[in-house]
Every structure is written in C-alpha cells, then in structure tokens.
C-alpha cells in the first residue's frame, strides 16, 4: 500500500487523477469497516486482499465510486487477488501495472481511456449487472458414494492420497498431467502473472472437462487450500471456482 503515497514509485499517478478533476481516495481511508467478505471469500487470508475485495463491494454499492488498482510486475499475491477483484466488480475498473520501464505517457493514456469509460458508464442505464458468485466448498460427505473426486497432479503424493480416499469408499482419481508444456488452455483463462503450479493444476482440470461425456453431476474437483502464509496455494480453489462458474460448472 505504501506505493500509493510515493510519487517516484507510482509515477505520480495520484496527482494525475486529481489534475483530471477526480478525487482520489486511498484504500486506507475508505469506509471498509462494516463490509464483511468472510462468507463470500472465506479463504482470503491476506489482509491486503481482504481490504481490496471489501473495496470492490463498496464500489458496487456506490454509483459514483470507481476503482483504480496500482500493481507491479511479477507481484505474486496481486496476480491472484486482482483476478478475483475483476470477477466481482460490477462496473468499470482499472488496473495499472507498473515496472521500471513505465512512463508518464502510457499512464496518461490509460487514465484518460478509463475516465472516458466511466463517463459513458454513468451516462447510460446499465442493462445487466453481473452476478456475484460465492465460492462453494464441497465437503466429502456430499460426494461420498456418489461422485468421483478428481485430484490435480501436483505431486506423486496425490496418488497415495487418492488410494486412501478409495479405501474409505470415496471414489477418486488423479488427473493426468497436460501434454501441452505451454499450458495454453490455462493461460487463456488467466493473466500471465499467476504461478506455474496454478497453471499446471488448472490446465489438468480444463483438459478433463473438455473430454467427451464429461458430466459435472458425476465428478467433483478437489483442490488443496490453506488460510495462512505467503504461498499462493491457498487462493487456487477460490480462483478456480470462479473460473468454472463462468464456464457454467458449479
């Protein structure tokens, strides 16, 4: 968050917004205290991620508030958080990614295009508002004896995990590793900054649902998760759930 206040780091973007005639409200001063996202996103354990997703809820409820997110090249957590923000926003939203090569002209162009989009948005009646999905975490009791649990090919340990589940009458199998080393199918559904293991697991899932005869009532995907630590693994399930919901798979 400190980058919002350092003009040398953020290419003076705050003053550019003010000069255009708009009030720039930093995330730290937004009234987010009464917004609870724990039910919608129970696995968002990063404080900054919680604040950003709460800010999206605030934007959605206020006609004249619009979001501009400043991020930086190869920021791991932002790669996961920003996609969830874009999935949940119901109005124009700008992400400005910066690195050492970012110049004033590029930022000015993006800001002006965004301001024009906001003016157009405010000038017309929204015909359709995107539905905000909540992530559903399926318990084993819901799939026991009914569905086949599909486990991503993250390591050889998953074969042992699958064997344990089968021993307890929970049918499961480990997905095949994608033959496409570029993981093009997964890359086409996400931004380029997510980590390779996320692409690896998502590619395996997408390949499986493309197979003839796939029935979402018969299969259920399993994804490991966590609620702490710097690793992005804990965000895989949330982001993949949003991805599959967009494809009509619950």
Residue-level pLDDT at 133: 46
- Could you identify the residue written with the tokens 């980058």? 3
Is the pLDDT score of 212 beyond 70?
Answer: yes
State the pTM of this model.
Answer: 0.59
Is the pLDDT score of 128 beyond 60?
Answer: no
Each residue of 216-245: pLDDT tens digit?
A: 888 888 888 777 777 888 888 888 888 888
Give percent of the chain above pLDDT 70: 89
Q: What is the mean pLDDT of residues 42-50?
A: 88
Sequence-distant (6+) residues with CB within 8 A of 25 are 65
Higher pLDDT, 132 or 102: 102
Phi, psi (rounded to 5 degrees) for 93: -145, 130
Query: Please, which pLDDT band fits residue 124 given cuts at 50, 70 and 90?
Result: low
Mean pLDDT of the residues in the chain: 83
3-state DSSP: the chain helix, strand, coil percent, rounded to 5? 45, 10, 50
Domain boundaries, the chain: 2-123, 140-246
**C-alpha separations of 155 from 95, 103, 172, 236 in Å:** 34, 42, 15, 16
Is the pLDDT score of 196 beyond 80?
Answer: yes
* Most confident among 56-60, 160-164, 192-196, 218-222 (mean pLDDT): 56-60
Q: What is the mean pLDDT of residues 175-190?
A: 87
**C-alpha separations of 130 from 19, 86, 90, 126, 218 in Å:** 32, 11, 6, 10, 28
Q: What is the mean pLDDT of residues 151-169?
A: 87
Residue-level pLDDT at 93: 92
Give percent of the chain above pLDDT 90: 22
In terms of phi and psi (left: phi > 0; alpha: psi -120 to 50; beta: otherwise), the region of 73 is beta
Is the pLDDT score of 135 beyond 50?
Answer: no
């Amino acid at each position: 968050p400190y980058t919002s206040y350092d003009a040398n780091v953020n290419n003076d973007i705050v003053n550019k917004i003010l000069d255009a005639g708009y009030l720039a409200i930093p995330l730290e001063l937004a009234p987010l205290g009464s917004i609870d996202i724990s039910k919608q996103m129970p696995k968002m354990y990063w404080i900054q991620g919680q604040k950003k997703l709460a800010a999206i809820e605030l934007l959605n409820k206020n006609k004249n508030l619009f979001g501009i997110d400043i991020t930086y090249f190869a920021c791991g957590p932002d790669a996961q958080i920003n996609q969830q923000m874009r999935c949940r926003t119901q109005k124009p939203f700008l992400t400005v990614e910066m690195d050492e090569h970012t110049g004033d002209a590029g930022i000015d162009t993006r800001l002006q295009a965004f301001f024009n989009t906001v003016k157009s948005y405010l000038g017309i009646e929204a015909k359709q508002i995107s539905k905000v999905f909540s992530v559903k975490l399926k318990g084993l009791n819901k799939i026991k004896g009914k569905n086949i649990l599909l486990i991503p090919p993250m390591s050889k340990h998953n074969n042992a995990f699958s064997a344990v589940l089968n021993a307890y009458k929970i049918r499961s199998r480990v997905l095949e590793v994608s033959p496409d080393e570029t993981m093009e199918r997964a890359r086409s559904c996400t931004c380029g900054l997510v980590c390779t293991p996320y692409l690896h697991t998502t590619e395996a899932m997408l390949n499986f649902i493309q197979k003839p005869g796939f029935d979402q009532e018969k299969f259920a995907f399993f994804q490991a998760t966590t609620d702490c630590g710097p690793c992005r693994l804990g965000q895989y399930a949330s982001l993949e759930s949003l991805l599959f919901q967009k494809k009509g798979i619950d």
